[in-house]
Amino acid sequence: LAKTTQPISMDSYEGQEVNITCSHNNIATNDYITWYQQFPSQGPRFIIQGYKTKVTNEVASLFIPADRKSSTLSLPRVSLSDTAVYYCLVGDWKSNTGKLIFGQGTTLQVKP
């Protein structure tokens, strides 16, 4: 299983763009890259997923270079409500036996 490495914590201010980078040097061919957000006392919530290049949805963008050994989650114009823990996961979840392993995540603190 591919292991991920991401910063333990980050600080930002309201209105700024936040980029969280995750390293996954041992990513396998069938692995997808998925990001989750978790607020205190809640379950993680899916943000975005990608395989290569760039993926964008209504809340975030995901940038994946050609070698796929890292990925960057980009949150545009963050607000106080974006304060949460963000997890980067790598795995072949489409397989019946695929599973996603969580690391420690990145705690993002957004300040006014």
Partner 1 sequence: EAEVAQSPRYKITEKSQAVAFWCDPISGHATLYWYRQILGQGPELLVQFQDESVVDDSQLPKDRFSAERLKGVDSTLKIQPAELGDSAMYLCASSPVGQLDSPLHFGNGTRLTVT
- Tell me the site size for partner 1, rule CB under 8 A: 23
Question: Going along 1-112, which residue ranges are E strands?
Answer: 9-13, 18-23, 32-38, 45-50, 53-56, 61-64, 70-75, 84-91, 106-111
Shortest distance (Å) from residue 15 CB to partner 1: 28
In the structure encoding, which two tokens stand for residue 21, read together? 């980078």
- Kindly tell me which of 94 and 112 has the beta carbon lying closer to partner 1: 94
Q: Segment contacting partner 1 (CB under 8 A): 16-24, 58-66, 74-82, 103-111? A: 103-111
Structure tokens, 19: 């980029």
Answer yes or no whether residue 97 interacts with partner 1 by CB under 8 A. yes
Of the residues 29, 67, 94, 112, which one makes contact with partner 1 according to CB under 8 A? 94
Of 20-59, which residues contact partner 1 (CB under 8 A)?
32, 34, 36, 41-46, 49
Instruction: Name the nearest CA neighbour of 6 among 109, 110, 108.
Output: 108
Give yes or no for a contact between 82 and 60, defined as CB atoms under 8 angstroms apart: no
Q: Which residues are near partner 1 by CB under 8 A?
A: 32, 34, 36, 41-46, 49, 87, 93-97, 99-105
